[in-house]
Amino acid sequence: MGMYADDDTVLRWARPDDRDALYEVCLRTGDAGNDARHLLQHGRLYGHLYAAQYLEFEPSCALVAEFEGSVAGYALGAVDTEAFETRLEREWWPPLRLAHPLPGDGTDLDRHLIGQLHRPVRTPPAVTDRYPSHLHMNLLPPLQGRGIGRTMMTTLLERLAEQGSTGVHLGVDPRNHRAIGFYEHLDFTRHGDDRIVLFTRRL
């Protein structure tokens, strides 16, 4: 049973068989919050980079929203970013690098994302020392603007705090004005205005 429900929407913790839906939601929100399907030949690259590993390695912090019976949104967290990134380096990236050798193929964006599989950015200790956890949240259009993002954020932050976290960070594409407004409204602190906008919040 879900932890929240209305006529058409249910929130619940993720299950292993949600994997393909996470890939789909990630792809359909990959272009600064918008559908990225037309930009890629390899549609699963976004999910490899930003979604599926959370279900694999941090299932207790993987929250999904079902809309009319199908998963159409998620909030995915990692309690200890440093340990999570170390584990990705050992277990997650190696087979993906073999499947997508450099310099990569496909569109410019495919090749850019393949480059990220080979050279993922490690989060600096200056961030993780104070904000050890991180998260990603993506909802398809039918779920947006209904208070579901706020409910999912509250639920996930509570779960991260229960697991001992003292702070959370996340990165946003500077073109994604909607998400930037959302995180500012939810009392996240904005740092800089770089290639990625960093947001933090103490727990």
Ligand X SMILES: CC(C)(COP(=O)(O)OP(=O)(O)OC[C@H]1O[C@@H](n2cnc3c(N)ncnc32)[C@H](O)[C@@H]1OP(=O)(O)O)[C@@H](O)C(=O)NCCC(=O)NCCS
Site of interaction with ligand X (CB under 6 A): 29, 33, 137-139, 144-150, 172, 176, 178-179, 181-182, 185
Minimum distance of ligand X from residue 139's CB (angstroms): 4
CA atoms lying within 13 Å on the CB side of residue 99: 10
Minimum distance of ligand X from residue 19's CB (angstroms): 19
CA proximity to 124, closest of 82, 160, 92, 185: 82
74 vs 104 by CB, closer to ligand X = 74
Minimum distance of ligand X from residue 173's CB (angstroms): 7
33 vs 132 by CB, closer to ligand X = 33
Q: In what order do the strands lie in the sheet with 197-202?
A: 4-5, 9-13, 62-67, 70-78, 133-139, 167-172, 197-202, 189-191
161 vs 186 by CB, closer to ligand X = 186
75 vs 96 by CB, closer to ligand X = 75
Minimum distance of ligand X from residue 34's CB (angstroms): 8
Q: SS3 for 43? A: coil
Please state the φ and ψ torsions of residue 163, each to the nearest 5 degrees: -90, 10
Minimum distance of ligand X from residue 48's CB (angstroms): 17
- The Cα 33–Cα 42 span in angstroms is 18
The helix, strand and coil proportions of the chain, stated in percent and rounded to the nearest 5, come to 45, 25, 30
75 vs 79 by CB, closer to ligand X = 75
